[in-house]
Structure 1
Amino acid sequence: MKSALTLLASASLALGHATFQQLWVNGADHGTTCARLPRSNSPVENVNSQDLTCNVGGRTAGHFGLCQVPAGATVTVEMHEQPNDRDCNRPAIGGNHFGPVIVYMSAVNDATTADGSNPWFKVAEFGYSPQQQLWGTDVLNENCGHFNFVVPAGLPSGDYLVRAEAIALHVAGSPGGAQFYMTCYQITVTNGGGSSVPSGVSIPGAYTANHPGILINIWTGDINNYVIPGPPVVSV
């Protein structure tokens, strides 16, 4: 007989797919204006796939707009399981899809045409809090899909891509089991106070399939020392 944990993890395979969809700037709702909306709510599972950059088809901008974001602003990315379903009574990402939430930015010449090949620097993350027994995805579910970060005040003005990502680890105990959910947003940073952009990493390229934050059994392993994938958050 399968254990309760095994059954729970298996059942979650069919549940919980989601996408980051909306963007807020200093409390103002910009909806999906500047989001490169994924074609579906299914995950990317290959850390070496070009789809890891901005989801399936997301390296081509299409006809999405720009959101104006002052440097130092509080920006909120918003995730839901289904398109345009912002019902806070439903989970942002259900099905026991526990894992970290990470936000990257990338400086580009034109956010409406950039393909995501420029370096990405990390601006926010939430992995696992042993004290609160809380995952980054729990933060999403407890806040109507919202995850806040601050655009560094020291960034130069100009166009950027924002990449919001949740990594579901419910079946990540074997290689290729981690599920990556990401969306890229097109923004223009205004009133920037700096002259240089932080160094960054390539996506794909920043992750490996055997990274301890990607290849992990969260049901039986030691998650109190969970290591978030990718580089450290920048200080600008």
Structure 2
Amino acid sequence: MHLFSALAVISVTVLQAAAHGYVPLLRINGKDVPGWDISKDPYTTPQPLRVVRGTKLDSGFISDVTSPDITCSIGNQKLPPGPIQATVAAGGTVQVLWNTWPLGHFGPVLNYLAKCPSSDCSTFKGDTGAPWFKFQQDVFSNGVWASDTLARNNYTYNVRIPSNIAPGSYLLRHENLALHAASSQGGAQFYPGTFILTPVSPTTPFTELSLVCIQLTVTGGGSLNPSGLSFPGVYKATDPGILFNVYRGDAANQVIL
């Protein structure tokens, strides 16, 4: 499937994660909601319950885009699940506050939802079937990539929850896809938390995918129950949105198509 065609709606160490970004905070209706703070939470006993799912720091990398770890992060399902969710109204906004994101890591910001099979999302893996749907993406506007817009907006991104989806419990998959070195395929390795597709050799370009999964309760809304996308399954190593030369003159048009 082409990465950008679905709406009809990818740190081994703390240093790597911090360099590319993680989400220590959300803001909903003016209220701050703690995210997963990779500099503190993994070292706290007992581990705190968070609506933002954590990642293991010692998990190594993912070399296979068909791995279930691509859904949210390596070790996501091995961590103590958090049986808590943040509440947001359909049509409302979830502000995602990254700790950082480097300028020049050009690429889009994409958002997916999957409805949890029960009122408690903590046991929902989302890595089987096709429960996901993409509802929002920002790519390129007025000569600026969405990733740079996020970085210049105090590392803040507004996720707009659809107004017409049915109320219930959802898993939100929010990702940045960096394409600044994605012009060749080969030796890709997906890391947890901040997914970094690193090269086998220093001369091999690579792609970076940074994502978080957030447990939500959506209130109000309508009756739509979209689905149809799968993680793993959506991404292929040769997809135009993964294997991509961001420096081509028509790069933005390529991505949007």
Work out whether the TM-score is over 0.5: yes
**Aligned counterpart in structure 1 of residue 210 of structure 2, from 181, 184, 190:** 181
What CA deviation, in whole Å up to 9, does each residue of 1:158-197 have, x standing for no partner?
1100011011112211113211111101111122322x41
Superposed counterparts of 1:129-168, under 5 Å: 129=141, 132-168=142-178
Q: What is the alpha-carbon distance in structure 1 between the residues aligned to residue 132 and residue 175 of structure 2?
A: 13
Q: What is the alpha-carbon distance in structure 1 between the residues aligned to residue 61 and residue 101 of structure 2?
A: 12
- Which residue does the alignment assign to 2:238? 210
RMSD between aligned residues: 2.7
Q: Secondary structure at the match of 1:226?
A: helix
- Which residue does the alignment assign to 1:103? 111
Q: Secondary structure at the match of 2:111?
A: strand
In the TM superposition, what is the alpha-carbon distance from 1:228 to its structure 2 partner? 5.2
In the TM superposition, what is the alpha-carbon distance from 1:60 to its structure 2 partner? 4.7
Q: What is the alpha-carbon distance in structure 1 between the residues aligned to residue 76 and residue 256 of structure 2?
A: 24
Maintained 8 Å contact 2:54/2:79:
no
Q: Unpaired segments of 5 or more residues in structure 2?
A: 1-15, 36-49, 189-205
Maintained 8 Å contact 1:43/1:181:
no
In the TM superposition, what is the alpha-carbon distance from 1:52 to its structure 2 partner? 1.4
Q: Which amino acid aligns with 1:68?
A: T
In the TM superposition, what is the alpha-carbon distance from 1:212 to its structure 2 partner? 1.5
Superposed counterparts of 1:108-127, under 5 Å: 108=116, 109=118, 110-117=120-127, 119-127=131-139
- Which residue does the alignment assign to 2:69? 51
Q: Secondary structure at the match of 1:139?
A: helix
- Which residue does the alignment assign to 1:223? 251
Q: Unpaired segments of 5 or more residues in structure 1?
A: 1-12, 81-91, 230-236
Q: What is the alpha-carbon distance in structure 1 between the residues aligned to residue 248 and residue 66 of structure 2?
A: 27
- Which residue does the alignment assign to 1:73? 92
- Which residue does the alignment assign to 1:22? 25
- Which residue does the alignment assign to 2:6? none
Pairs aligned (count): 203
The answer to whether residue 34 in structure 2 is matched with residue 34 in structure 1 is no
Maintained 8 Å contact 1:53/1:59:
no
The 3 A distance-change label for structure 1 pair 43 and 187 is farther
The 3 A distance-change label for structure 1 pair 181 and 60 is same
Identity among equivalent pairs (%): 37
Q: What is the alpha-carbon distance in structure 1 between the residues aligned to residue 17 and residue 81 of structure 2?
A: 31
Q: Secondary structure at the match of 2:34?
A: coil
Maintained 8 Å contact 2:56/2:79:
no
Maintained 8 Å contact 1:101/1:126:
yes
TM-score, normalisation: structure 2 = 0.70
In the TM superposition, what is the alpha-carbon distance from 1:126 to its structure 2 partner? 0.8
